[in-house]
Amino acid sequence: MEHYNMSLNLKVWRQNNSRDKGYFEDYKVDGISSEMSFLEMFDVLNERLITEGKEPIAFDHDCREGICGMCSMYINGKPHGPWKSNTVCQLHMRAYKDGDTIVVEPWRANAFPVIKDLMVDRSAFDRIVQAGGYISVNTGNAVDGNSMPIEKDKADASFAAAMCIGCGACVAACKNSSAMLFLSAKVAHLALLPQGEPERKKRVVSMVAQMDKEGFGACTNTGACEATCPKDISLSNIARLNQEYLIASLTADK
Amino acid sequence: MGLTGIFLITFLIVHMGINACMWAAVYFPDDHGEMFNKAANFMGSMVLIRIIEVGLFLFIFLHIIQGYMLTVYNRSKRAVGYAVDYGSKGSKWYSRSMGLLGTLILLFLIIHWLHFWIPSRFTGVEEVEYSGVKMHNMFALMQTTFQQLWVVILYVLGCISLGYHLAHGFQSAFKTLGVHNKRYQIMLSGLGYGFSIVVPFVFAMMPISMYLGWVK
């Protein structure tokens, strides 16, 4: 692919803290290579802001390999930008052309309060996982991989659900700010495996209760979450979660 | 929402089946709405059906209340909105507009009740006699009501709202109840789209065929 440089007009959300009202600030960035990643473009801008003695733009990032789930920018009306099945860190500037205007916002949901600029507090997801997204195992040597046979179809479906990186794009895209796609991936991942069986009912009831407590909205099956998920988590996991929840609510011991 | 929705879907099938008796007048020139009136009278005179009717109203109001509570609850979860809206990526407009479509259906329902249910139950309808049995001439009431063009247009718009509401609601109801099998999801999705086209179309054809004089 041919390399080119570009100048871009950025409209970036700036906010000092969760209590601050926040505003959009315009930036013009020049000499951006089409081979840069979107976050590298922000690095270039931040270097300039620091040199000018201004406050750099705060944004989340970690692995920059598309697997940690830390990056979280809502770009021109879509979480993680225009590419499908992609995270911001894997979005490259060849997605844009010279002179483009790009609007960058943080995830918007009451359950994800803004910490600063484009960084939001996603610890609600951690608390949901703490409520039941685990299995109990004996400590000691690792068990032989073949000691517990698992059907290929179930192993594949579980693995597909386990791909969820917990970035929160599903919440950001959902008109209801619902975390059901995230939760369904976490529940389905373990419910499909024999290792997840002992806490199966308790897990789903506790995790749903925690999700409601965190202030996420309710799912109306629109499908916006599935369309924006960087890991292609399927909407059918939500139906599986509903089944798990219904059975667990009716039959759990307490 | 799913459970009440599925109950209302079942009711639509029964309602459509009874109302479709009006077209007997097209095929049997001497019918003049007799089959329709007898079917309506059968539904109105059976004790079991009157009990189910109470349940039906309960489910309708439950569905409405749940719908509004869900809409308000979900809207409250994003205090600060986006400058650039997410739009239609991955979702259909009608799946995002169930509250609006439901409100339009409710407005239509109020008018529909005023036209037919209230006169039938409370204010009285002209009677007709078949084999010595007196009953409400609902067929004549339909003919009178659907002589006005604005009423016909209103009913057609109500049916269009119902169609879009069902296009999302039918398949969503089964997902809410936990149907996640791929094969059944595809089947229910196809069935839902078919249902959302056929049922509102049949309902819409009733006022249209009355207005155009196809049914006499």
Complex prediction ipTM:
0.90
Nearest residue in B to A217, CA atom: B74
Segment B130-184, tens digit of pLDDT:
888 889 999 999 999 999 999 999 999 999 999 999 999 999 999 999 998 889 9
Q: Do B82 and A237 touch (CB under 8 A)?
A: no
Size of interface A-B (CB pairs under 8 A): 116
The residue assigned the tokens 């739009």 is B87
Of B82, B176, B177, which has the smallest distance from its Cβ to A105's Cβ? B82
Given the structure tokens 């078949």, which residue do they identify? B130
Distance from CA of B58 to the nearest CA of A (A): 22
B172 vs A22, A221, A224: nearest CB: A221
Residue B165 belongs to some domain of the structure? yes
Is A77 close to B82, i.e. CB distance below 8 A? Answer: yes
Q: In the CATH hierarchy, which fold is given to the domain comprising A123-251? A: Fumarate Reductase Iron-sulfur Protein; Chain B, domain 2 (1.10.1060)
A182: number of Cβ within 10 Å: 29
pLDDT at residue A75, as a whole number = 97
Mind listing the pLDDT tens digit for each residue in B97-122? Answer: 999 999 999 999 999 999 999 998 88
Within a domain: B105: yes
CB A157 within 8 A of CB A212: no
| Residue A102 in tokens | 């790009």
Q: Going from the first residue of chain A to its last (254 residues), give the mean pLDDT of each consecutive group of 10, the final group possibly shorter.
A: 93 95 96 96 97 97 94 96 96 96 97 97 97 88 84 95 97 97 97 92 96 96 96 96 95 78
Q: Does B210 have pLDDT greater than 70?
A: yes
CB < 8 Å to B85, chain A: 77
The answer to whether the beta carbons of residues A39 and A71 sit under 8 Å apart is yes
Identify whether B26 is part of a domain: yes
Those residues whose C-beta lies under 8 Å from the C-beta of residue B137, and which sit 6 or more positions away, are: B33, B37, B125, B126, B127, B128
Using CA atoms, how far residue B24 sits from A12, B31, B33, B38, B135, in Å, is 66, 7, 7, 12, 18
User: Which class for A187: exposed (0-12), middle (13-18), buried (19 or more C-beta within 10 A)?
Assistant: buried
Task: Say yes or no for a CB contact (<8 Å) between B77 and A111.
Answer: yes
Q: How far is CA B212 from the centre of its chain?
A: 22
Which 3 state secondary structure label does DSSP give A98?
coil
**What pLDDT is recorded for position A150?**
92
> What CA–CA distance (Å, rounded) separates B6 from A248?
22
**Whole-number pLDDT of residue A254:** 67
In a domain, B216, yes or no: no
Q: Which of A110, A226, A240 sits opposite B77 (nearest CB)?
A: A110
Distance (Å) from the alpha carbon of A89 to chain B's nearest alpha carbon = 20
pLDDT of residue A252: 78
Q: Which domain holds residue B159?
A: 2-73+96-211
User: Per-residue pLDDT averaged across B84-90, rounded?
Assistant: 90
**pLDDT number for residue B124:** 83
Residue B45 has which token pair?
């005179």
> Residue ranges per domain, chain A?
5-115, 123-251
In sequence order, what are the residues at sequence separation of 6 or more whose Cβ sits closer than 8 angstroms to the Cβ of residue A117?
Answer: A12, A13, A14, A15, A57, A58, A59, A106
Is-contact A38 A89, C-beta < 8 A? yes
Report the pLDDT value the prediction gives residue A141, as an integer from 0 to 100.
86
Mean pLDDT for chain B overall: 93
**H helices present in chain A, as ranges:** 38-51, 123-130, 152-162, 169-173, 180-191, 200-214, 224-228, 236-251
Q: Total structural domains in chain B? A: 1
- Give the model's pLDDT for residue B151: 95
> Can you tell me which residue has the tokens 């009831």?
A205
- Tell me, what's the pLDDT at B97? 95
Q: What pLDDT sits at residue A81?
A: 96
Q: Which CATH number fits domain A5-115: 3.20.20.70, 1.10.150.120, 3.10.20.30, 3.40.50.1000?
A: 3.10.20.30
How far A222 CA sits from the closest chain B CA (Å)?
A: 5
Q: Has residue B63 been placed in a domain?
A: yes
Q: A235 is written with which tokens?
A: 């909407």
Q: Residue B98 is nearest to which of A103, A218, A220, comparing CB atoms?
A: A220
Q: What is the mean pLDDT of residues B17-42?
A: 88
Taking only the tens place, the pLDDT of each residue in B20-31 is 999 988 888 788
Q: How far is A105 from chain B (nearest CA, A)?
A: 7
Alpha-carbon gap, residue A207 to A62, rounded angstroms: 26
